Structure 1
Amino acid sequence: MTILHHLDQTTLLRYASGDLDEAFSVVVAAHLAMCDECRRELRIAEDIGGRLLEESEMATVSDGAFSRIMCRIDEAEASGETILAAPPIALRGGKQDVPSTLQRYIGTRLADISWKTVAPGVRRHKIALSTPTRSALYMLKIEPGKAVPEHGHGGTEMTLILSGAYRDALGRFGPGDLADLDEHVEHQPRVEPGEPCVCLVATEAPTRFKGIFSRLLQPLVGI
């Protein structure tokens, strides 16, 4: 698997510092499970952060601070929240084809996901989050040759390809590739022939479709 599209450096640093909400953290962790290069970059970011802490001036720590930190770690582990350590590679072929960091949300096999048709050739699976957030997390399954209407984004959007591939003005996106986009990007992905494209998507705001017909359908599509 050759991955051509990686995490933006700002996103990687935000993940390392715990500054991403659950929806985006899930997408980043799933990409890290598939991408050697970004795992190396994450370790570098964590090392730099550790050195900066070691070299910074000592500050007074309030009573009970250590206990609060340990409680926070216990809560995160109990809820399955991603901690800073880089996840292992999880795609081993065979029956399991879902990154380990994503399995508690959708199971171990893409074939077992229950889909809802939202438009011709487009199916969606909403993913429930354990923490309140304005962001949304969902799966898309788009049939071969199908083009998503041209659109932009009301905020940050991350799309991780789990199987299949699509092309747009930014290039080809195949398994493991991550489209880390902001509100300034407009594109029209078209799925390659041969097999459906299955994606994991996190969004801050609903998609902004350009065409009038597409905009009218957007509330029904729900992406």
Structure 2
Amino acid sequence: MNVRHHVSDDLLSAYATGELVEGWSLAVATHLALCPDCRNRLRDFEAIAGELFEGLPASTDDMGSSWAQLSQRLADPSDGIIPAARQGVVASASRAPVLPEPLRSYVGSDALALKWKPLGRGAYQVPIPTGDGVTSVRLLRIPAGRPVPEHSHGGRELTLVLAGSFSDEKGRFCRGDIEEADEELQHQPIAGAGEDCICLAVTDAPLRFKSRLLRLIQPVLGI
């Protein structure tokens, strides 16, 4: 696996310092599980964050309290800064899991055993509950060769490919690749031929579909 599209410096530095809410953190952590290059970059950001913390005055009560809270959250997986494995699933020796940890423990199984909910046009989703109150997190399965309806974004969207591939205006994305979209991007991703595209999608605002019909049923779809 050769990951070509990586998590941005802004997101990775925020992840290293514990500033990301749970949904974004889950996407970054799952990408890190698939990307050795970004794991190396993360170590650099963690080293920088450690040096900055060491240089702060020891008498800064608010910072001391914040660091204590952060340390407690890092030690407690239930708070989700760096989501840890919960109820881990042992992968088959003959087949690597589609969903790496920590994502696999969030949904309780690997992709083939999940209860996928239809979205229409052959697409399916699995909503993933989080406790951050900010993000919407879901697994999506798009049929091979099929397009996603054209849309723009009301905020940030992270899309991490876990199986298959998709292509859009920004290029081709395969397993391990992550795309970061914002209000400026309007696109129509198309799943690659030969294999359904399974991806993790995290948003902080509803998508803006070009189709009026999709806009009407969007509250029902929950996307």
TM-score range for the pair, normalised by the shorter chain length: 0.7 to 0.9
> Compared with structure 1, are the counterparts of its residues 105 and 93 closer, same or farther at alpha carbon in structure 2 (3 Å cutoff)?
farther
In 1: Cα distance, 2:101 partner to 2:122 partner = 28
Q: Aligned residue for 2:118?
A: 117
In 2: Cα distance, 1:173 partner to 1:40 partner = 21
In 1: Cα distance, 2:8 partner to 2:210 partner = 26
Q: Aligned residue for 1:81?
A: 80
- Deviation of residue 72 (structure 1)? 5.4
Determine if contact 1:6/1:38 at 8 Å carries over to the other structure: yes
Q: Aligned residue for 1:15?
A: 15
- Deviation of residue 133 (structure 1)? 1.0
Which letter maps to 1:104? S
Determine if contact 2:142/2:198 at 8 Å carries over to the other structure: yes
- Deviation of residue 195 (structure 1)? 1.1
Aligned pairs for 1:1-223 (under 5 A) are 1-56=1-56, 58-62=57-61, 69=68, 73=72, 76-79=75-78, 81-83=80-82, 94=95, 96-129=97-130, 131-223=131-223
- Once structures 1 and 2 are overlaid, which stretch shifts more, 11-20 or 30-39? 11-20
> Compared with structure 1, are the counterparts of its residues 16 and 172 closer, same or farther at alpha carbon in structure 2 (3 Å cutoff)?
same
In 2: Cα distance, 1:158 partner to 1:139 partner = 12
**Structure 1 runs, 4 residues or longer, greater than 3 Å off:** 82-85, 90-93
Q: Tell me, what secondary structure is at the counterpart of 2:102?
A: helix
Unaligned runs of 5+ in 1: none
In 1: Cα distance, 2:25 partner to 2:9 partner = 14
Determine if contact 2:83/2:102 at 8 Å carries over to the other structure: no
Q: Tell me, what secondary structure is at the counterpart of 2:76?
A: helix
CA deviations on 1:136-180 (whole Å, 9 max, x unpaired) are: 111101101110111011101101110011111110011000011
Which letter maps to 1:145? G
- Deviation of residue 74 (structure 1)? 6.2
Percent identity for Structure 1 against Structure 2: 38
What value does the CA root-mean-square deviation take over the aligned residues?
2.7
Superposition TM-score, scaled by structure 2 size: 0.86
Which letter maps to 2:160? L
- Deviation of residue 209 (structure 1)? 0.5
In 1: Cα distance, 2:38 partner to 2:30 partner = 11
Superposition TM-score, scaled by structure 1 size: 0.86
> Compared with structure 1, are the counterparts of its residues 50 and 108 closer, same or farther at alpha carbon in structure 2 (3 Å cutoff)?
same
Number of residues of Structure 1 aligned to a counterpart in Structure 2: 216
